[in-house]
């Protein structure tokens, strides 16, 4: 991959798949050095989403060109989740939605018809091209997710929805529509909320949790002199000094480590991690060589 990356131009927009899962980053190349690829990353609306740094040796798949990248944006409907006929709105507006099925698979789709006991979908590939049409029974459909561009506080009081098969959703702004519960799902430091639709008869319990973490949205790029500071150690040092939240990942980690850096020493990062509920819960040590992906999403801790 290093030889391929050397041929790319600064400022070129590319896609990087994260390890071996289906998540990927789209970003503009800032720098390529002997070990790392530095990107301005973009969210699904192609809004600037901070900086991501990839260990080049961990990159297995690069998207050089695609309809998604060339389009440079996806139209996200300002969706009204309280519409009395929510499914008809999805059909009429041809809203791209993600569906999760009982077998654990996830598909990107358009809803084309809703019957009493079934849904009809057009299945899409990564370039939003239709590959098949399918009919799926109501009880086989676990969840519908709709991306929605919103402005919100990152952490607030929210509820935990537990389903009868022990799935847990961290949610707020709950409402009901006929036989379905509709809610916004907390995403980790994104300006895109996921509107979720699940059947009411799937719900086992709904409980409340209060979050005390206080974060402020700030542009990390304002701290960087891109001519001299674009170095992973210097970036980590600025995160330490300014209490910016960092996201550190490795394909062998059970989950992404999110938190603030408390110390840097001997190629070792010390950090206080935040759990999925937004509260500090443990101290961690990570060696620099373990960092396959470092992401900064423009959020600073208010102490």
- Pair 93, 61 in one domain: no
pLDDT on residue 72: 52
CATH number at residue 291: 2.30.30.600
The segments of the chain whose pLDDT lies below 70 read: 19-23, 44-45, 67-84, 149-157, 186-193, 211-212, 303
**Boundary residue ending a domain (209, 242, 260):** 209
Domain total in the chain:
2
Q: Looking at the domain assignment, is residue 79 inside a domain?
A: no
Q: Considering just the CA atoms, what is the radius of gyration of the chain in Å?
A: 21
Q: Looking at the domain assignment, is residue 77 inside a domain?
A: no
Structure tokens at 165: 């098969």
CATH number at residue 184: 2.30.30.100
- Pair 205, 220 in one domain: no
pLDDT on residue 70: 64
Give the residue from 237, 243, 236, 230 showing the smallest Cα distance to 28: 230
- Residue 254 · residue 276 · CB < 8 Å: no
pLDDT on residue 76: 46
The domain in which residue 7 lies consists of 2-71+214-301
**Partner residues linked to 121 by β-bridges:** 111, 134
- Pair 181, 251 in one domain: no
User: What does 144-161 look like in DSSP terms, one character per residue?
Assistant: EEEEEE----SS--EEEE
**Boundary residue ending a domain (173, 192, 209):** 209
- Pair 46, 110 in one domain: no
pTM for this one? Answer: 0.70
- Pair 64, 118 in one domain: no
- Pair 16, 105 in one domain: no
């607030």: which residue's tokens?
156
Q: Which helix (H) or strand (E) holds 70?
A: helix 67-71
């Amino acid at each position: 991959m290093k030889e391929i990356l050397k041929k790319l131009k600064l400022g070129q927009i590319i896609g990087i798949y994260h390890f071996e899962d289906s998540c990927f980053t789209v970003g503009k190349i800032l720098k390529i050095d002997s070990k790392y690829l530095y990107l301005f990353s973009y969210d699904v609306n192609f809004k600037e989403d901070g900086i991501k740094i990839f260990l080049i040796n961990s990159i297995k798949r690069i998207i050089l060109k695609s309809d998604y990248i060339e389009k440079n944006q996806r139209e996200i409907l300002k969706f009204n989740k309280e519409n009395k006929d929510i499914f008809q709105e999805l059909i009429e507006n041809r809203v791209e939605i993600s569906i999760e099925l009982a077998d654990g698979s996830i598909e990107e789709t358009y809803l084309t018809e809703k019957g009493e006991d079934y849904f009809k979908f057009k299945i899409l590939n990564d370039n939003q091209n239709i590959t098949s049409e399918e009919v799926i029974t109501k009880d086989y459909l676990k969840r519908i997710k709709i991306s929605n561009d919103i402005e919100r506080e990152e952490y607030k009081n929210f509820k935990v929805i537990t389903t009868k098969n022990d799935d847990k959703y961290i949610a707020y702004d709950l409402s009901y529509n006929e036989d379905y519960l509709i809610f916004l799902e907390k995403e980790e430091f994104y300006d895109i909320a996921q509107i979720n639709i699940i059947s009411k008869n799937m719900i086992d319990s709904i409980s409340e949790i209060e979050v005390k973490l206080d974060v402020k949205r700030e542009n990390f790029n304002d701290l960087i002199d891109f001519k001299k500071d674009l170095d992973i150690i210097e970036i980590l040092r600025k995160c330490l000094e300014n209490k910016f939240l960092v996201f550190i990942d490795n394909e062998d980690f059970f989950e992404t480590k999110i938190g603030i850096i408390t110390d840097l020493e001997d190629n070792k990062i010390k950090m206080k991690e935040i759990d999925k509920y937004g509260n500090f819960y443990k101290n961690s040590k990570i060696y620099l060589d373990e960092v396959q992906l470092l992401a900064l999403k423009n959020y600073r801790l208010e102490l």
